[in-house]
Structure 1
Amino acid sequence: MSHPHPELTTPPPLPPGGVRIVALGGLGEVGRNMTVIEHEGRLLIVDCGVLFPEDHHPGVDLILPDFTYIEDRLDDVEAVVLTHGHEDHIGAVPYLLRLKPDLPLVGSTLTLALVEAKLKEHRIKPYTLGVAEGQREQLGVFDCEFLAVNHSIPDALAVAIRTEGGLILHTGDFKMDQLPLDKRLTDLRGFGRLGEEGVDLFLVDSTNAEVPGFTTPEKDIYPAIERVFAKASRRIIVACFSSHVHRVQQVLDAAAQNGRKVAVVGRSMVRNMGIAEDLGYLHVPPGVMVDIKKLDTFPEDQQVLICTGSQGEPMAALSRMANRDHKIEVGEDDTVILASSLIPGNENAVYRVINGLMRLGANVVHKGNARVHVSGHASAGELLYCYNIVQPSNVMPVHGEWRHLVANGALAQQTGVAAERVVLAEDGVVVDLVDGIAKITGAVDCGYVYVDGSSVGGTTEALLKDRRILRDEGFITVVVAVDSSTGRITSGPEILARGFAEDTSVFENVAAQIKSAIEESTARGVTDSHQLQQVVRRTVGGYVGGKLRRRPMIIPVVIEA
């Protein structure tokens, strides 16, 4: 557990008619988006996603929102509204439904199909309600209207939540592509209509708030992809997110135009593209898609592979190819396209993969050297348009690191929103909308919950600290046997070190220091093995810290003989 703001106390009871907003993820980070909205004792959850681990989370598979705030109130939850099908918005749904499997899931057709496939792996059959843009549903005390928004996955929705305490508009992830591939525009007319009605609190995607101007249209990257296909002399491997249907569509179109066959690699990619094709969101040109087992029957200059791993994930297909740990071997003059952006924190992992592929002789095309990716989020110019159209009374930037939230809040102020009406909050901070005014009223415990193999929540910060020490500093084990009656050393100390470049002879000097420290302690009457272990730990720690400039994990073992 962690308390985000020690200066904030537990929030007071929500005043009658008020609306409470608590983000359990997604504020101050890019991922694990989850917002809880409370009104008249009832709860509405918007999104429930995961955050992917970084280098300082060794051994962690996923990071979940902290459900502690709502764990005892799951019977008060009217529904879980899912804005779109990306992992950082739906990935934690199975872990929430483990606590209460009958929580209603509300979302668009594609979003629910992706969630249901994920839940099937967890053996959970959910209760779902499919909605579409323009639809309005009464979810208990929450009157929800859904609006189309354009994003890097089809069928994304914004949600307007009407309550007696005010109207809240949550954009979800969105951009304002004016020429989208699926012809599905962000519903600015709907935003304007809600603005006329009066938006009391506007929750706005902040991911690209620092980027000036307008996000490049998705269609503008096709010429770059087509040029790569036309020039490639051998096999082409495209890595992108398994949910990026628009990007896969462009790859399929480029393959068809250049007489190539396409195979999909990776369980999540195969699953998601199958769902998108079955539902009509992905249009596969006739004769282009083939089974991976049959791809080798075609000449290499006719082969295209689509796989996951664009973020350098260690176990994803592309990373394993770069490490020669995959049945598909990348060779000289193969072309690899990384058709995605870099999620903050993944840069080093991605560059390791790029270097590994280039060492194998591949030509690597990425956002840095060709326009093979555009963002799915609104840049500053688009956000300004939205603020001017909606003219909200209060603004709460969401979905982004702190710098993104601050930049988004500044944009709101530029359009005339008063500074005191722009609420900058982090995970766990409680924001109450009362009498048309939104303000911070307290904070609740809200930490990271780690998925570590089959363990959920068992991994702690202390455990991760130990793993980081073992990874970065190594460990030393010292075994000493002492006479239980006299306290004199009868055997040892035996010193075993791992993770050190230095020869073990460097520890010969410390052995004498350990003997001396134990003898001094026993002379003072210290005979308890636990206390003697602490003496050994301090002695070894002082030696390696001073002589070797290292801070390893030290495991002393004192045996009473």
Structure 2
Amino acid sequence: MAESPNQTVSPLRITPLGGLGEIGKNTWIFQVNDEIMLLDGGLSFPTEEMHGVNLVLPNIDWLIENQEKIVGMVVTHGHEDHIGGIPYHLQRLRIPVIHGPRLAMALLEDKLREAELLGRTQLQTVGPRGTVRVGKYFLVEYLQNTHSMADSYTLAIHTPVGVVMHTGDFKFDHTPVDGRKFDYQRLAEYGEKGVLCLISDSTNAEVPGFTPSERSVYPNLERYIKEAPGRVIVTTFASSVHRIHMLLDIAQKTGRSVCVVGRSMLNMIAKAKALGFIPNFSDSLLQPVQAANSLPAERVLVLTTGSQGEPMSALTRIAGGDHRQVKIQPGDTVIFSSNPIPGNTISVVRVIDKLMQLGANVVYGRERGIHVSGHGAIEDQKLMLALTKPKFFFPCHGEYRMIRRHAQTAQEMGVPAANMLLTENGDVVELTPESMRVVDRIPAGVDLVDASRSTMVNSNVLRERQRLAEDGFVTVAIALTPQGTFAARPQISIKAVARSAETRNLEDMLRTALERTQGRFGEFRQPLEAGALGYQYDWMGIKQLLERTVKQVTREMLQSHPLIQVLLQTPLEAPVTSLPLAVATSA
């Protein structure tokens, strides 16, 4: 709890490692003196230029250097952008205990079991208005909120400087599907007592009004499913427990059996049912996926992952005709109960096009009323500010324009501009009862996980992959004789340049230039030591000359910068300094 006002108060340092200026990898550091409490540990997904990358994590090098100070972690809810990075962090980091909601902890337990990391930390569940002590300086109360994922919380963090409220992801849903309402009363009580700083979700800061209730999509989903003449395939986020709950209810009302496709969807339904977030429906409602082909078409609803066009997701494979068990049939109706996350629009559109080409009727788009956001719009954000009445304001969870707009809303609600900060990942914010300011900065880059999900991708490797994708690859292999001449014609391999005609012309130009270069090899001939007959070649110097020649010709010819590799084989019998195989890579 906070210290007495007339005592010396230790400042609180708050550092976001992810989630500012972006959507995803939400990760926070709270530090008082020699104790660190972490809040969430999320991930995000790669952009198109991140070739071979599967996941993007915040860089945790600073945490590794200071891990003896970590006393625990608190988790707001179970979305991947809030817990997905934790198993990867635990491979390199010691976190004694992780506190969080039941559903989030159940999902995290499965992740840790799969990664063989269950013994690395303790998982402790927390319920509404539950409090947890984390180290000497932090007491955290969990306040039920409403979001697109069940069992989601806003956190009231008691610190030596005062109460810091972290909203987590939220909207004010007055008619939640599971009946678990936002704890308005406790928020207001904290506002009356005094919230020193509010850290608040900015995702929909540019959207006017209130975000509609999750329940508002029910009538439209029911209508489209009722009117569909054949099979219905619905895709949504696997984590959208409330949406899944409604779809199961609609299927039962319309006499359709539900076949679930996608491991993450199956896992989420099993966990949510076990914990009571999805009620028990009749035993006959859920059927194995094989039944999608054997039951009458008008009696089938397929529930699948892949709403964001992910390359390996079930729906993408169905659209490509590559799924072993589900094939699109003319007359199928496919419903996208989601909107594309920024950056995924092209992938989603491609999937929609393929589904239509296979004869499916595809229902998608904001105007259909089949999806609502889980994040509060401007009026939700105003209500949060009105209830908590913070002295300082720290907008988070969003791209820069969202965070900036949220700050403007806070000013409209009476928070002085001098009492808020627009920061970046890595900025160390020092908070006292009288001030909030940036005092330092720590490394806050990204760690990239490759497609195997087991290895980090080096930034140099990523740059090389990008160069390969953009400009191609040129390899030249040359063997030299002891006399400093070519043992055979240079072998040239050119991959992924723009046009085949350029490839043929480049090969001819390179051979001509390399043959001319032979005339300069004499510059690299040196006499042997005094008293010895003969001479020797500076093979490394020749290699560098060949590299420069290949680079110059290639870039002049292609007007681009492909990766260049020169493989030089020098004679074994050369008297001095010869290299059996010299490999040079030019960036």
TM-score by length of 1: 0.93
Shift in alpha-carbon separation, 1:27–1:533, aligned structure 2, 3 A: farther
What's the counterpart of residue 330 of structure 1?
Answer: 328
For structure 1, list consecutive stretches of 5 or more residues without a partner in the other structure: 1-14
Contact 1:529–1:559 (CA under 8 A) maintained in structure 2: no
Residue 69 of structure 2: which of 76, 82, 104 is its match?
A: 76
How do residues 474-485 of structure 1 correspond to structure 2 at under 5 angstroms? 474-484=472-482
What's the counterpart of residue 519 of structure 2?
Answer: 519
- How far 1:440 moved relative to its partner? 0.6
- How far 1:429 moved relative to its partner? 1.0
- How far 1:537 moved relative to its partner? 3.7
What is the one-letter code of the residue matched to 1:233?
P
What's the counterpart of residue 443 of structure 1?
Answer: 441
- How far 1:521 moved relative to its partner? 5.8
- How far 1:530 moved relative to its partner? 4.5
What's the counterpart of residue 293 of structure 1?
Answer: 290
**Separation in structure 1 between the aligned mates of residue 77 and residue 509 of structure 2, nearest angstrom:** 62
**Separation in structure 2 between the aligned mates of residue 138 and residue 379 of structure 1, nearest angstrom:** 32
- How far 1:528 moved relative to its partner? 4.4
Residue 160 of structure 1: which of 153, 156, 170 is its match?
A: 156
What is the one-letter code of the residue matched to 1:55?
E
**Separation in structure 2 between the aligned mates of residue 39 and residue 148 of structure 1, nearest angstrom:** 26
Match of 2:270, SS? Answer: helix
- How far 1:87 moved relative to its partner? 0.5
Shift in alpha-carbon separation, 1:295–1:385, aligned structure 2, 3 A: same
Match of 2:195, SS? Answer: coil
How do residues 143-154 of structure 1 correspond to structure 2 at under 5 angstroms? 143-154=139-150
**Separation in structure 1 between the aligned mates of residue 519 and residue 412 of structure 2, nearest angstrom:** 72
**Separation in structure 2 between the aligned mates of residue 378 and residue 132 of structure 1, nearest angstrom:** 22
Residues 90-146 of structure 1 deviation map (CA, whole Å, 9 limit, x = unaligned): 111112222356621111111111111121111222412211121222222201111
**Separation in structure 1 between the aligned mates of residue 80 and residue 504 of structure 2, nearest angstrom:** 51
**Separation in structure 1 between the aligned mates of residue 188 and residue 520 of structure 2, nearest angstrom:** 80
**Separation in structure 2 between the aligned mates of residue 530 and residue 350 of structure 1, nearest angstrom:** 51
| Pair 1:509-2:522 in alignment | no
What's the counterpart of residue 530 of structure 2?
Answer: none
**Separation in structure 2 between the aligned mates of residue 474 and residue 18 of structure 1, nearest angstrom:** 53
Deviates more, 1:537-546 or 1:446-455: 537-546
Contact 2:524–2:542 (CA under 8 A) maintained in structure 1: no
**Separation in structure 1 between the aligned mates of residue 443 and residue 513 of structure 2, nearest angstrom:** 45
**Separation in structure 1 between the aligned mates of residue 554 and residue 302 of structure 2, nearest angstrom:** 51
Contact 1:488–1:522 (CA under 8 A) maintained in structure 2: no
**Separation in structure 2 between the aligned mates of residue 556 and residue 102 of structure 1, nearest angstrom:** 47
Match of 1:158, SS? Answer: strand
What is the one-letter code of the residue matched to 1:80?
M
Residues 430-452 of structure 1 deviation map (CA, whole Å, 9 limit, x = unaligned): 11102431111111112111111
- How far 1:550 moved relative to its partner? 3.2
What is the one-letter code of the residue matched to 1:540?
V
For structure 2, list consecutive stretches of 5 or more residues without a partner in the other structure: 1-7, 527-536, 572-587
Match of 1:154, SS? Answer: coil
What's the counterpart of residue 178 of structure 1?
Answer: 174
**Separation in structure 2 between the aligned mates of residue 560 and residue 77 of structure 1, nearest angstrom:** 55
Residues 3-36 of structure 1 deviation map (CA, whole Å, 9 limit, x = unaligned): xxxxxxxxxxxx9610001111111111111101
Residues 192-219 of structure 1 deviation map (CA, whole Å, 9 limit, x = unaligned): 2112221111110011111111112111
Contact 1:323–1:356 (CA under 8 A) maintained in structure 2: yes
What's the counterpart of residue 108 of structure 1?
Answer: 101
Contact 1:78–1:139 (CA under 8 A) maintained in structure 2: yes
| Pair 1:535-2:545 in alignment | yes
What's the counterpart of residue 244 of structure 1?
Answer: 240
Between the two proteins, what is the percent identity of the paired residues?
Answer: 35
- How far 1:369 moved relative to its partner? 4.9
**Separation in structure 1 between the aligned mates of residue 362 and residue 262 of structure 2, nearest angstrom:** 20
Contact 1:384–1:411 (CA under 8 A) maintained in structure 2: yes
Match of 2:487, SS? Answer: strand
Deviates more, 1:185-194 or 1:300-309: 185-194
Shift in alpha-carbon separation, 1:329–1:532, aligned structure 2, 3 A: farther
**Separation in structure 2 between the aligned mates of residue 335 and residue 509 of structure 1, nearest angstrom:** 56
Aligned length: 546
Shift in alpha-carbon separation, 1:513–1:127, aligned structure 2, 3 A: same
What is the one-letter code of the residue matched to 2:106?
A
Residue 275 of structure 1: which of 268, 271, 275 is its match?
A: 271
**Separation in structure 2 between the aligned mates of residue 96 and residue 554 of structure 1, nearest angstrom:** 36
How do residues 32-43 of structure 1 correspond to structure 2 at under 5 angstroms? 32-43=25-36
What's the counterpart of residue 558 of structure 1?
Answer: 568
CA root-mean-square deviation = 2.0
Contact 2:391–2:415 (CA under 8 A) maintained in structure 1: yes
Shift in alpha-carbon separation, 1:524–1:445, aligned structure 2, 3 A: same
What is the one-letter code of the residue matched to 2:126?
V
Deviates more, 1:437-446 or 1:129-138: 129-138
Residue 128 of structure 2: which of 127, 133, 136 is its match?
A: 133
Shift in alpha-carbon separation, 1:185–1:509, aligned structure 2, 3 A: same
Shift in alpha-carbon separation, 1:515–1:379, aligned structure 2, 3 A: same
TM-score by length of 2: 0.89
Residues 323-355 of structure 1 deviation map (CA, whole Å, 9 limit, x = unaligned): 111111112221111212221111111111111
| Pair 1:318-2:311 in alignment | no
Shift in alpha-carbon separation, 1:337–1:534, aligned structure 2, 3 A: farther
Shift in alpha-carbon separation, 1:34–1:518, aligned structure 2, 3 A: farther
Residues 227-259 of structure 1 deviation map (CA, whole Å, 9 limit, x = unaligned): 111121111111111111111111112211211
What is the one-letter code of the residue matched to 1:276?
A
- How far 1:72 moved relative to its partner? 3.2
Deviates more, 1:29-38 or 1:525-534: 525-534
| Pair 1:307-2:304 in alignment | yes
**Separation in structure 1 between the aligned mates of residue 318 and residue 292 of structure 2, nearest angstrom:** 17
Structure with higher RCO (Cα < 8 A, 6+ apart): 1
| Pair 1:202-2:198 in alignment | yes
Residues 489-525 of structure 1 deviation map (CA, whole Å, 9 limit, x = unaligned): 3322221112133144212123111222353365366
What's the counterpart of residue 491 of structure 2?
Answer: 494
Match of 2:82, SS? Answer: helix
What is the one-letter code of the residue matched to 1:234?
G
What is the one-letter code of the residue matched to 2:105?
L
- How far 1:398 moved relative to its partner? 1.1
What is the one-letter code of the residue matched to 2:550?
V
Match of 2:330, SS? Answer: coil
- How far 1:410 moved relative to its partner? 1.5
Contact 1:221–1:371 (CA under 8 A) maintained in structure 2: yes
**Separation in structure 2 between the aligned mates of residue 522 and residue 369 of structure 1, nearest angstrom:** 75
Contact 1:449–1:456 (CA under 8 A) maintained in structure 2: no
Query: Which protein has the larger Cα radius of gyration, Structure 1 or Structure 2?
Result: 2
**Separation in structure 2 between the aligned mates of residue 229 and residue 433 of structure 1, nearest angstrom:** 52
**Separation in structure 2 between the aligned mates of residue 98 and residue 509 of structure 1, nearest angstrom:** 51
Match of 2:391, SS? Answer: coil
What's the counterpart of residue 65 of structure 1?
Answer: 58
Match of 1:214, SS? Answer: coil
Shift in alpha-carbon separation, 1:515–1:279, aligned structure 2, 3 A: same
**Separation in structure 2 between the aligned mates of residue 522 and residue 329 of structure 1, nearest angstrom:** 68
Deviates more, 1:146-155 or 1:510-519: 510-519
Residue 410 of structure 1: which of 405, 408, 423 is its match?
A: 408
**Separation in structure 1 between the aligned mates of residue 84 and residue 108 of structure 2, nearest angstrom:** 8
